[in-house]
Amino acid sequence: MYELPNDSFETTTELYANIVQSLEHMTEGESNLIANLANTSSVLYHCLRDVNWAGSYLFDGTELVLGPFHGKPACIRIAMGRGVCGWAAAEQRTVLVPNVAEFPGHIACDAVSRSEIVVPLVKNNELIGVIDVDSPLLDRFSDDDARGLEQIAALLMSRLTL
């Protein structure tokens, strides 16, 4: 049984350091991306405060297709460049959206989502997919969340053998 980090950390950076440590342990010696994304979704959903969806989309060579997640059922396919996920994937960079109502083309999967962060998964310049986290609060995510999720993305990509 794995221990989840609790939310008693003083800073977001400290919380992510512990999440990364847990995920290093959970993914050690495991190269299966689906399994690693499944546990990552669970850890993010349970360890981050005020989050209503945490999961992934995987690039199938044409578009993004829903991957492992925690939260309500979500839309299955997202074209490159569409929504926050498609934008982060097309640009291969982290996209932080303080208010989804103000993001042109935002795809509403869960009506309660108010802010969102999407981090690309890229290995050897090849797009693998994205990690997406949604919150019911406006302006929930900071640069510290971006840096923390980027560390998690880097860890997941290091476990992947192409």
* Piece of the chain touching ligand SME by CB under 6 A; list 8-16, 33-41, 79-87, 143-151: 79-87
Helix axes 143-159, 12-27, angle to 10 degrees: 10
Q: Contact with ligand SME (CB under 6 A): which of 5, 83, 120, 129?
A: 83
Of 106 and 159, the one with the shorter C-beta distance to ligand SME is: 106
Cα distances from 3 to residues 23, 49, 68, 140, in angstroms, run 10, 17, 20, 25
Closer of 16 and 69 to ligand SME (Cβ): 69
> Binding marks (x or -) toward ligand SME, 21..60, rule CB under 6 A?
--------------------------------x-------
Residue 75 Cβ, how far from ligand SME at the closest point, in Å? 6
Find the distance separating the first CA and the last CA of the chain, reported in whole Å. Answer: 29
Structure tokens at 21: 């440590």
Q: How far apart are CA 154 and CA 58, in angstroms?
A: 15
- State yes or no: residue 145 binds ligand SME (CB under 6 A): no
Least Cα distance to 154 among 55, 25, 66, 24 occurs for 24
Q: Compute the distance between CA of residue 1 and CA of residue 67 in angstroms, rounded to an integer.
A: 23
Residue from 48, 74, 121, 122 in contact with ligand SME (CB under 6 A):
74
- Regarding 106 and contact with ligand SME (CB under 6 A), the answer is yes
- Where do contacts with ligand SME occur on this chain (CB under 6 A)? 53, 74, 78, 83-86, 106-107, 109, 113, 116, 132, 134
